[in-house]
Amino acid sequence: MKIYKFGGASVKNAERIRHLADIVAQETDDLMIVVSAMGKTTNQLEDFTQMLYPDAPFEDRDYNCLYDQVVSTGELQSTRIVSAYLNHAGLANQWMDITSVLRTDSTFREANVDIATSTTLLHQYLSAHPAHIYVTQGFIGGTADGLRTTLGREGSDYTAALLAYMLDADSVTLWKDVLGVYSADPRKVRDARLIHEMTYAEAAQLVEQGAQIVHKKTFQPLLEKQIPLFVKPFLRPEEQGTWIH
């Protein structure tokens, strides 16, 4: 099985979701597709939560719990739409609510994943719902008592890596709005080079230096199981992108 992750920009409108289906149609292996909220939905849901309780202190636990219940709906909605469209386009798939599978503690907004329990729950789920393609949410999880949690902003890359780890996946592909990983920020540095192949150590160092290409928690689970990571341009899937291994 391979893991494909699509960020918010890749599902921001109907045209992009059709394009996502074209990419999925090219893949012959079984797929676990991880999707973020559409476009800037997470920011809007964040603002909305703040409007409800404008004076709540940022550290307040009840506020953070409420935040997670509201903000997590962005991914639940986007994946419903992507899953329904793929089914419509002939790409039969199973929509998976990851909040019943990715078990976390109740550190709302920065939840820690219980890998052992999640691995068991995930394999149980897959046996009970056999499919070649699954569509599920990045960024969110759930507690033992059924509350939704989030893993920290931009956490969908990390979800993709965790699923790869728990499934012993063959690879992870992060479909992004860039051609791949560059040696420096191409918007700022004129001779920034596109890097086609690099090690985990090199990639982790770039992220350490502030590169925002991949969420920093993504590498560890992949490194541990030696699962290769591809960063591929969503709009130009024929391009090579970057291979990290």
| Interface positions with ligand ASP (CB under 6 A) | 7-8, 36-37, 42, 74, 138-139, 153-156
Under the binding rule (CB under 5 A), the answer on residue 10 touching Mg ion is no
Residue 218 found at the interface with Mg ion (CB under 5 A): no
Kindly state the smallest distance separating residue 56's Cβ from ligand ASP, in Å.
Answer: 20
Q: Count residues near Mg ion (CB under 5 A).
A: 2
Nearer to ligand ASP among residue 2 and residue 217 (C-beta): 217
The neighbour count for residue 37, using CB atoms within 10 Å, is 28
Return the half-sphere exposure (C-beta side, CA atoms, 13 A cut-off) of residue 15. 2
- Per partner kind, with CB cut-offs from 5 to 8 A, the member of ligand ASP, Mg ion, none near residue 241 is none
Min dist. Cβ of residue 72 to ligand ASP (A): 9
The C-alpha atoms of residue 227 and residue 169 are separated, in whole angstroms, by 7
Shortest reach from residue 106's CB to ligand ASP, in Å: 19
Stretch that binds Mg ion, among 2-10, 109-117, 141-149, 204-212 (CB under 5 A): 2-10
Please report which helix (H) or strand (E) contains residue 86, including its range. helix 73-88
Is 8 a binding residue for Mg ion by CB under 5 A? The answer is yes
Least Å distance between CB 90 and ligand ASP?
27
Report the run of H or E that residue 233 belongs to, with start and end: strand 229-233
Q: Using the rule CB under 5 A, is 39 a contact of Mg ion?
A: no
Q: Name every residue whose Cβ is closer than 8 Å to that of residue 195 and which is 6 or more positions away in sequence.
A: 180, 181, 182, 183, 242
Q: ∠ CA(7), CA(236), CA(161), 5° rounding?
A: 35
Contact 143, 102 (CB under 8 A): no
DSSP conformation letters of 101-158: TSBB-S-TTSPPB-HHHHHHHHHHHHHHS--SEEEEESSEEE-TTS-EEE-STTTHHH
Give the pair of three-digit tokens for residue 154: 């931009």
What is the C-alpha to C-alpha distance for residues 245 and 226, in angstroms, rounded to an integer? 7
CB of 129 to Mg ion, least distance (A): 26
Q: Which does 233 bind (CB under 5 to 8 A by kind): ligand ASP, Mg ion, none?
A: none
- Tell me which of ligand ASP, Mg ion, none is bound by residue 138, counting a contact when its beta carbon lies within the kind-specific cut-off of 5 to 8 angstroms: ligand ASP
Figure out which of the listed residues 11, 16, 17, 36 binds Mg ion, where binding follows CB under 5 A: 36
> In the bound complex, what is the minimum distance in angstroms from residue 150's beta carbon to Mg ion?
11
Please identify, using beta-carbon distances, which residue of 77 and 87 lies nearer to Mg ion: 77
Q: Which residue has the tokens 């909040």?
A: 99
Which does residue 216 bind out of ligand ASP, Mg ion, none, counting CB within 5 to 8 angstroms by kind?
Answer: none
- List residues near Mg ion by CB under 5 A: 8, 36
